[in-house]
C-alpha cells in the first residue's frame, strides 16, 4: 500500500509540474489578460513614434535631406515598390531569412535536446557550444566568403550560424536547469526517451525556447541585411548601400523601416504561436 500511495503522489506531482492546466483558473486568466493587452500597447507605441517622426520632419528641426519625414519615407518606399525593385529585393531577403532561420533554429533545438539529455554528452559538447555562442554571426562572413563564395549559400550559412548556436545554448541550459525530480518521476512512470524528450522536457522549456526564437528571428534579419550590404548583389542590404552612394536618406530609411516592420510582423506571429502553444499545454484558457 505504501508503494502504491507513493506512486500516486509521483503521478500527481508529474501532472502538476508538466501540465499546468490543473493550476488555478485565476492565475491562468490573469496571464491571458496580460497577453491580450500586449498588441494594443505595442501598436500605440509605434503610432506615437511615427507621429513624432513626422513632426520632427515637418518642423525642419533637421534638414529634410538628412532626416526626411515619415510621409516622405513612405513616399520613397512607394516609389521603390512601383519601380519593381523593392519586391524582387525584399523577396530575396525574405527567402534567405526563412531558409537560414528555419534550418538553424530547428536543428539547434534538436541538438540542444540531444546533448542535454545525457550528462556526459552535455559536458562534452557544452564548451564548444559556449564558444560558438559567443561569436557574432557577422564574424563568419569573411570565412564563409572564402569557403562558400558570393552566392545564395553565403547569407543562409551566416543566418544558420546566427540561429543554431544560440538555440543549442538556450535549449541545453534550460533542460539542465530543470528540477531533476521531473525527469526521475517520468522515468519511474515508464517514459521512454522520445516521450521524455518531447512530452516532458520540451513543454517545460517552451517559454525559454519561444523567447529565444523571437530574439534570434531579429538577429536573422540583421545578419542577412549586413551580409547583403557587404557581399551580395541583391536584397534590402544592397538597396541601402546603393541609396547611400547617391545620398538618398529617404530610401535608406524606407529600407530600414521595411526591415523593422518585417521583423515586428514575425514577432507578432511568434507571440500568437506562443499563445496557442501555452493554451495547448494549459497555461492559458482556450
pLDDT in tens, 30-49: 545 555 566 678 788 888 99
Q: What pLDDT, in 10s, does the model give residues 171-205?
A: 988 888 777 777 777 777 776 767 777 777 777 78
pLDDT at position 7, please?
Answer: 40
Count of H-run helices and E-run strands, the chain: 12, 0
Q: Which three cell numbers stand for residue 37?
A: 493587452
Among residues of the chain, what percentage have pLDDT more than 90? 42
The secondary structure of 240-281 as a DSSP string is HHHHHHTT-HHHHHHHHHHHHHHHHHHHHHHHHHHHHHHHHT
Range scoring the smallest mean pLDDT among 93-97, 148-152, 272-276: 272-276
The pLDDT of residue 23 is above 70 = no
Entry pTM? 0.80
CA distances from 19 to 124, 136, 152, 196, 251 (A): 32, 37, 43, 14, 50
Q: Does domain 85-280 have CATH number 1.10.3720.10?
A: yes
Instruction: Return d(Cα 268, Cα 39) in angstroms, integer.
Output: 8
Give the domain ranges of the chain. 85-280
Quick check: 94 pLDDT over 90? yes
Give 51's Cβ-side CA count (13 Å radius). Answer: 6
Instruction: Among 44-53, 108-117, 118-127, name the one with the lowest average pLDDT.
Output: 118-127
Q: Give pLDDT, residue 167.
A: 93
Find where cell 544560440 sits: 166
pLDDT band at 24 (very low <50, low <70, confident <90, very high): very low
Whether the pLDDT of residue 64 is over 80: the answer is yes
| pLDDT tens, position by position, 205-259 | 888 888 899 999 999 999 999 999 998 888 999 999 999 999 999 999 999 999 9
Q: What is the DSSP letter of 33?
A: H
- Mean model confidence pLDDT for the chain: 82
What would you report as the CA-atom Rg of the chain, rounded to the nearest whole angstrom? Answer: 24
Measure the CA angle with vertex 215, ends 157 and 117; round to 5°: 75
> What local confidence, expressed as pLDDT, does residue 40 receive?
78
Please compute the mean of the pLDDT values over residues 133-155 and round it to a whole number.
91
State the chain's maximal CA–CA distance in angstroms.
83
Q: How would residue 13 be classed by pLDDT, with cut points 50, 70 and 90? A: very low
The mean per-residue pLDDT over the stretch 56-66 comes to 85
pLDDT given for residue 12 in this prediction: 42
285 pLDDT tier (thresholds 50, 70, 90): low
Q: Which three cell numbers stand for residue 284?
A: 492559458
The Cα 196–Cα 203 span in angstroms is 10
pLDDT in the model for residue 16: 43
CA distances from residue 277 to 96, 103, 210, 271 in whole angstroms, order as listed:
26, 21, 10, 10
Whole-number Å distance between alpha carbons of 125 and 165 = 12
Interval 57-62 mean pLDDT = 84
Q: How far apart are CA 198 and CA 92, in angstroms?
A: 34
52 CB neighbour count, 10 Å cutoff? 11
Predicted confidence band of residue 93 (pLDDT cuts 50, 70, 90)? very high
Contact assessment for residue 244 and residue 214, using Cβ atoms and an 8 Å cutoff: no
Average the pLDDT over 62-91 and give the result: 92
% residues pLDDT > 70 (the chain): 81
Lowest mean pLDDT among 18-32, 72-86, 195-209, 252-266: 18-32
Amino acid at each position: 500500500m505504501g508503494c502504491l500511495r507513493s506512486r500516486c503522489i509521483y503521478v500527481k506531482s508529474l501532472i502538476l509540474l508538466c501540465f499546468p492546466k490543473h493550476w488555478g483558473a485565476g492565475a491562468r486568466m490573469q496571464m491571458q489578460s496580460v497577453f491580450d493587452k500586449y498588441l494594443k500597447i505595442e501598436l500605440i507605441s509605434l503610432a506615437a513614434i511615427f507621429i513624432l517622426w513626422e513632426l520632427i520632419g515637418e518642423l525642419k528641426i533637421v534638414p529634410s535631406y538628412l532626416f526626411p519625414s515619415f510621409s516622405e519615407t513612405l513616399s520613397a518606399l512607394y516609389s521603390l515598390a512601383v519601380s519593381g525593385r523593392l519586391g524582387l529585393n525584399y523577396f530575396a531577403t525574405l527567402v534567405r531569412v526563412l531558409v537560414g532561420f528555419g534550418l538553424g533554429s530547428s536543428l539547434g533545438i534538436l541538438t540542444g535536446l540531444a546533448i542535454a539529455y545525457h550528462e556526459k554528452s552535455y559536458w562534452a559538447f557544452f564548451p564548444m557550444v559556449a564558444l560558438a555562442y559567443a561569436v557574432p554571426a557577422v564574424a563568419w562572413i569573411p570565412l564563409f566568403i572564402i569557403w562558400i563564395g558570393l552566392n545564395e549559400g553565403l547569407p543562409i550559412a551566416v543566418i544558420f550560424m546566427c540561429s543554431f548556436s544560440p538555440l543549442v545554448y538556450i535549449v541545453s541550459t534550460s533542460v539542465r536547469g530543470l528540477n531533476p525530480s521531473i525527469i526521475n518521476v517520468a522515468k519511474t512512470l515508464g517514459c521512454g526517451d522520445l516521450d521524455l524528450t518531447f512530452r516532458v522536457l520540451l513543454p517545460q522549456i517552451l517559454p525559454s525556447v519561444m523567447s529565444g526564437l523571437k530574439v534570434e528571428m531579429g538577429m536573422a534579419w540583421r545578419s542577412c541585411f549586413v551580409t547583403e550590404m557587404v557581399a551580395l548583389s541583391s536584397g534590402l542590404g544592397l538597396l541601402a548601400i546603393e541609396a547611400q552612394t547617391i545620398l538618398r536618406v529617404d530610401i535608406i530609411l524606407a529600407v530600414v523601416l521595411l526591415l523593422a516592420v518585417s521583423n515586428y510582423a514575425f514577432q507578432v506571429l511568434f507571440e500568437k504561436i506562443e499563445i496557442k502553444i501555452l493554451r495547448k499545454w494549459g497555461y492559458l484558457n482556450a
